[in-house]
Amino acid sequence: MAREMTGAQMVVQALKDQGVDVVFGYPGGAVLPIYDEIFQQNDIRHILVRHEQAAVHMAEGYARSTGKVGVVIVTSGPGATNAVTGLTDALMDSIPVLVLSGQVPTFMIGSDGFQEADTVGITRPCTKENWLVRDTDQLAPTIHEAFHVATTGRPGPVLIDIPKDVQFATGLYQEREAHRSSYSRPTAPDPDAIEALVDLIEQAERPVFYTGGGIINSGPEASAALRDLVQATNFPVTSSLLGLGAYPASDRHWLGMLGMHGLYEANMAMHDCDLMINIGARFDDRITGRIDAFSPGSRKVHVDIDPSSINKVIHVDIGIIADAGLALKAIMAAWTRRGRRTKAEAVVAWWRQIDEWRAVNCLAYRQSTTTIKPQYALQRLEALTKDRDRYITTEVGQHQMWAAQFLHFEEPNRLMTSGGLGTMGYGFPSSIGVQIAHPDALVINIAGEASFLMNMQELGTVSQFHLPVKQFILNNERLGMVRQWQELLHGSRYSQSWSEALPDFVMLAETFGLKGIRCSDPAELDDAIMEMLDHPGGVVFDCLVERHENCFPMIPSGKPHNEMLLGDASTEGAIKADGAVMV
């Protein structure tokens, strides 16, 4: 039987019915009725943020590390506009997030009221779907629909704008079980296309799996299916940044990440393969480099749940619209039914070629006894944390790429990073969301000092909720990636790419009641990292590193995969003027 309640009560009830136990938010005039209801219950925990952008990134970290929907509550006007960066980030990386925004009362909409903004208009391009609810009776169905849309097909962020009078008014609550949605998307692969792919698998001499975040979004079973298929076929596997962890980095079939700062062996395998099987990745421009020189000799197969991803950038021979996990299982089933044939000898020869590329040791760097090299810092962090229940988030820049190169991910949902949008300021709040979801786990945000400054107000949130989250800042006092590009592309004119007037990060941590650690001596690094790990509370680790280290390998803009720059190679003149147009 339908229950009568206020709109604000419906919001809380619907969230409970959807299994939500935590929301990230910030109160304000247009959401006061909802906050009044939150005050009067204990089932849903509210994490008070310091800025709404951070609330969305926390929800993203929560969602990426659990597979559940991250929920955010913001007020109207600036509360909603501050959420836009997080929504766009979640849209680009296909993260299920629900933002509930307050709105001025329906009778004031359009009057330029105090803290009024056209929130559904502003967020339309950065949400998968959004709604303005004008009728309290429609509130519960809309919330149930929002959860359904956020998690069905290709996941993504959704927003519901709720005018204040709708929150106050009473209506009939619609139960979750009573909700019927018309939104569905096909997830099972077409059997004919799977057979065609198995034909190619059976005949491939130089195959490679190129995987992405779609496998992680599909759930742990998809990662398990990938492992089965890779090991059974003996095919090499590489992955985009967002796909790291779907395949264990410790396995011999793993080539490492591919792309602009991917491993030499991964990129060379992509360039020289005769069969590329893309599962749940989207041929991002960081991956492909120059399109017309991208893997010129290969047949390409693309499995994606989003039809618009297929043939968007790279024209493929077989497109399969399906959930990654279902597709992987279907491939395995069809290939097994046909006798599990591969050109095994050719694949062994292919592995010999790959081993030669591996011998290049592309991540080699010049060690120093006086300065901490950022790569070394991450190698030590990896060595000292790899056996723990560990989650990593990153900010955006050189440190992000080094983290992808030097930290090894054995399980899905263990790396949270802003891939598509490249949002500096993502990692710190994201690490908070991860820590909230996994209170006993070791959660480390790999940061640059410039990215960290972008959302450092959240130190207050860490302190308030006694979160043991660790901020590992590779501090080079530079916008490292910008500086690297200026060195390579803009004649070493370092326009605005240094961090002037930095705070003392140790004192900054202490002023929020957290622990600060500084280290600048490679000989003391291990002890300092252990001090961070042993501290039961939140830590800001200021790791002063080499200021002018460049991130290699690197595929310069406008170059194909087989023209990578390696660490010791001369970089002068490597990028032509037409390459400089790309970013």
Partner 1 sequence: MSALNIKQGSTSHSAYNLRASYTETSERHTLAVIVVNAPGVLARVIGLFAGRGYNIESLTVAEIDHAGHRSRITIVTSGTPQVIEQIKAQLGRIVAVHEVHDLTVEGRAVERELGLFKVEGTGEQRIESLRLAEIFRARVVDSTLNSFIYEMTGTPDKLDAFAELMRPLGLSNIARTGVAALLRGPGAASK
Q: Does 332 bind partner 1 (CB under 8 A)?
A: no
The answer to whether the CB of 122 falls within 8 A of the CB of 87 is no
Phi, psi dihedrals of residue 470, rounded to the nearest 5°: -110, 130
**Is the CB of residue 469 less than 8 Å from the CB of residue 435?**
yes
Between vectors from CA 182 to CA 180 and to CA 183, what angle results, nearest 5°?
115
Strands 3-6 and 170-173: antiparallel
Q: Is 189 among the residues that bind partner 1 (CB under 8 A)?
A: yes
SS3 call for 464: helix
Residue from 36, 137, 165, 202 binding partner 1 (CB under 8 A): 202
Q: Of 124, 341, 366, 466, which lies in the binding site for partner 1, with binding defined by CB under 8 A?
A: 124
Rounded CA-CA distance 335/135 in Å is 53
The question of whether 582 is a catalytic residue gets the answer: no
- Of 323 and 549, which has the nearer Cβ to partner 1? 323
Smallest separation (angstroms) from partner 1 to the CB of 345 = 18
- Count of residues that bind partner 1 according to CB under 8 A: 38
Of 93-101, 186-194, 215-223, 246-254, the window that binds partner 1 (rule: CB under 8 A) is 186-194
Tell me how far apart the terminal alpha carbons of the chain are, to the nearest angstrom: 57
By the rule CB under 8 A, 311 interacts with partner 1: yes
Q: Could you tell me the smallest distance in angstroms from the CB atom of residue 197 to partner 1?
A: 9
Which residue type does 95 have? I
Name the H helices within 259-395.
264-272, 285-288, 324-337, 344-358, 374-385
In the shown chain, the binding pattern of residues 91 to 120 toward partner 1, with x for contact by CB under 8 A and - for none, equals: -----------------------------x
Stretch that binds partner 1, among 14-22, 46-54, 196-204, 340-348 (CB under 8 A): 196-204
Q: Does 128 bind partner 1 (CB under 8 A)?
A: yes
Q: Does 312 bind partner 1 (CB under 8 A)?
A: yes
Structure tokens at 32: 């006061």
Judged by DSSP in three states, 225 sits in helix
Report the nearest approach of partner 1 to the CB of residue 256 (Å).
29
* Residue of 121, 296, 297, 439 interacting with partner 1 (CB under 8 A): 121
> Is residue 3 helix, strand or coil?
strand
Binding-site string for partner 1 from residue 226 to residue 265, where x marks contact by CB under 8 A and - marks none: ----------------------------------------
Nearer to partner 1, 130 or 497 (CB): 130
Name the residue nearer to partner 1 (CB basis): 337 or 548.
337
Nearer to partner 1, 76 or 393 (CB): 76
Torsion angle, CA of 514/517/518/519, rounded to 10 degrees? -160
Residue 439 makes contact with partner 1 by CB under 8 A: no
Q: Which region, judged by CB under 8 A, interacts with partner 1, from 19-27, 197-205, 371-379, 513-521?
A: 197-205
Of the candidate spans 60-68, 280-288, 319-327, 379-387, the one that interacts with partner 1 by CB under 8 A turns out to be: 319-327
Side by side, which strands form the sheet with 299-304? 254-257, 237-239, 207-211, 275-279, 299-304, 318-321
Closest to 223 measured CA to CA, from 186, 197, 251, 188: 251
Closest to partner 1 by CB, 322 or 432 = 322
CA distance to 27, 97, 203, 472, 533, per residue, from 428 (Å): 21, 18, 47, 10, 17
Q: Which of 318, 446, 450, 543 binds partner 1 (CB under 8 A)?
A: 318
- The residue among 146 and 260 lying less far from partner 1, judged by its C-beta, is 146
What are the residue numbers of the active site? 52, 114-115, 164, 481
